[in-house]
Amino acid sequence: MNLRTKISLSLLFVSMILIIVISLFANLFLEKQFRQYIIEKQENTNKEITSLIGQQYIKDNQWNSDAIQTIGVNALEQGLIVKVFDKSGKTIWDAEKHNSGMCSQMIQHMSSNMASRYGKWEGKYTEVEYPINSLLNNVGTVKIGFYGPFYFNDHDLAFINTLNKALMGVALFAIIFSFIIGAILARRISNPIERVIDAAKNIAKGNFKVRSEEKSHTKEISELTSSINHLASTLQSQETLRKQMTQDVAHELRTPMTILQSHIEAMMDGIWEPTVERLKSCHEEIIRINSMIGDLNKVAKYESEHLVLSKAEFDILELISNVVTNFESQFKNKNISLKYAGDSVTINADKDTIMQVLINLVSNALKHTVSGGTVEISSKRLEDSVQIVVEDNGEGIPEEELPHIFERFYRVDKSRNKATGGVGIGLTISKSIVNAHGGTIEVESKVNKGTRFIVRLPR
């Protein structure tokens, strides 16, 4: 089921449930009140009739029969069967005697009214007796018969039916309204999502230049759009990097391979004597190729998601000191001073990989600092981490290159790096290692001023 149908149906469902609940409650409560009202009205009418009849008593058991008949006939038209008796029980007036056909017709009518409303309504003919008083003396009784326990006359029934019709009208309106609103809402949500999906499908096909231009006021949709665009640009730059890497690898391998090939061919053809000198040069080329392949392997290993760390506790300052000792002669040869200082902090980490990070950073500093420069390593205890800084005052990195230097095979100045021999993976590996430890690595740099790498590792 698509999103649009789902939203429309949900809204429709909610409004229908609401309508049903409201109608049920309205019917229950209103009906209860209405019944009460009808019962009270019945009682009042009965009393009114009794009092009217009482006024027709003249004296000495003499009654105004004409007036009583008018009252009785009026009552009969309202569905009430009136019987008047004097004190001795003698009938003064009896609706059934006056017009028995109309009486049974009335009862029949009320019963059908109630049945039309309640289906199986179990009502029956009921009679209530009231004493007739004239000047505080009891002069007789009135029996009023009706269809009980209560009944709806035509007006009452019309009122209830109108109310129900109004409720049904409201329900119909609510359903149509919610359907329209649901459809509009669903369109407004699903249309932009569909367009983003189209863009994503295009990206999946390899069109990394595609960007979704969707502008939405809905936070999630605009976040979705920007994530898709970010994904596309990441894929695009990865793609560029990959192409660049293939080119780089091919280019880097071709030179030593060509040299090797021509040397060996010359020796095979007898043009060159296979002297130790010449074999040594071939051997050097093979070593270069090997070290490149080694670098490629390292990227595969450290960048894989399942970098396994064998953690142990060690002192970070001690490790720095070891690295410094290893590099001492290389720094001396290039006339660069190498210093270290800071806090002695014990951390729980994979010592070999952290050493690899330090070696990468220090050898980069060595490569990119001119003779007479300084490289400093320091460690500092922070609240729940340790901060290691490798700082040089060498050539620095241009600001626009900084965001890329941790990317695979990224080298700042391609020709500059020819001489230093890197393939652009040292920092990629370092970052993978630091991230695998749950730490961070950052860089600050100014061209011709120097570079500072800041590594933070959790203790």
For the chain, counts of helices (H) and of strands (E)? 11, 13
- Give least dist CB 327 to ligand ADP, A: 14
365 binds ligand ADP (CB under 6 A): yes
Q: Out of 82, 299, 412, 455, point to the residue binding ligand ADP (CB under 6 A).
A: 412
Run of H or E residues at 444: strand 440-446
**H-helix segments, 136-218:** 154-204
Q: Rounded to an integer, what distance in angstroms lies between the CA atom of residue 7 and that of residue 60?
A: 82
Q: Rounded to an integer, what distance in angstroms lies between the CA atom of residue 266 and that of residue 229?
A: 55
Q: Rounded to an integer, what distance in angstroms lies between the CA atom of residue 439 and that of residue 451?
A: 20
Selected range binding ligand ADP among 87-95, 279-287, 335-343, 395-403, rule: CB under 6 A: 395-403
Q: Out of 424, 432, 434, 441, point to the residue binding ligand ADP (CB under 6 A).
A: 424
User: Distance of CA 133 to CAs 41, 50, 64, 68, Å?
Assistant: 21, 9, 15, 15
3-class DSSP assignment, residue 38: helix
357 binds ligand ADP (CB under 6 A): no
- Give least dist CB 444 to ligand ADP, A: 11
- Give least dist CB 439 to ligand ADP, A: 18
Selected range binding ligand ADP among 128-136, 317-325, 335-343, 404-412, rule: CB under 6 A: 404-412
- Give least dist CB 208 to ligand ADP, A: 24
- Measured at CB, which residue is nearest to ligand ADP? 422
362 binds ligand ADP (CB under 6 A): no
Q: At what angle do helices 100-118 and 65-77 cross, to 10 degrees?
A: 30
- Give least dist CB 373 to ligand ADP, A: 10
425 binds ligand ADP (CB under 6 A): yes
431 binds ligand ADP (CB under 6 A): no
User: What is 165-180 written as a DSSP string?
Assistant: HHHHHHHHHHHHHHHH
Tokens at residue 260, please? 């090797």
- Give least dist CB 362 to ligand ADP, A: 9
Q: Out of 426, 441, 455, 456, point to the residue binding ligand ADP (CB under 6 A).
A: 426
Residues 307-336, mask of contacts with ligand ADP (x by CB under 6 A): ------------------------------
Q: How far is CA 292 from the centre of its chain?
A: 47
Of 279, 339, 344, nearest to 316 by C-alpha is 344
What does the binding site for ligand ADP look like in residue numbers (CB under 6 A)?
360, 364-365, 368, 392, 394-397, 405, 410-412, 417, 422-428, 451
